[in-house]
Amino acid sequence: MPGITREEVAHLARLSRLELKAEELDHFAEQLDVIIGAVARVSDVADEDVPPTSHPLPLTNVMRADEVRPSLTPEEALSGAPAQEQQRFKVPQILGEE
């Protein structure tokens, strides 16, 4: 018998607003039981002498300092735009807002 019941899967489906057939309830109950078992086994792996970490390797900041470099002028950037207004790209209104 699975650790998670067919009724629990039906309840979760209702909460998620999913319509499941009877055979799907049994199928998902078995799958969820396997998943829950796999997650439970993770706690068996951790040992007292292993400190909790979020990453296996230390993270380092890869950001670089900002440098001013040559780039396009506003006119060059907007030269291929189909429409522009006040040195900005003009796009069609999509939400009906002003």
Q: Which of 45, 43, 9 is nearest to 24 (CA)?
A: 9
The token duo for 64 is 């670089």
For residue 1, the model assigns a pLDDT of 40
Q: Residues 29-82: pLDDT tens digits?
A: 999 999 988 888 877 776 777 777 788 888 888 888 889 999 999 999 999 999
* pLDDT above 60 (res 3): yes
Position 98 confidence tier, pLDDT thresholds 50, 70, 90: low
**Can you give the residue ranges of every domain in the chain?**
6-45
For residue 97, the model assigns a pLDDT of 66
Q: What fold, for 6-45?
A: Histone, subunit A (1.10.20)
Q: Give Cα separations from 68 to 65, 71, 79 (angstroms).
A: 10, 9, 22
DSSP classification of residue 86: T
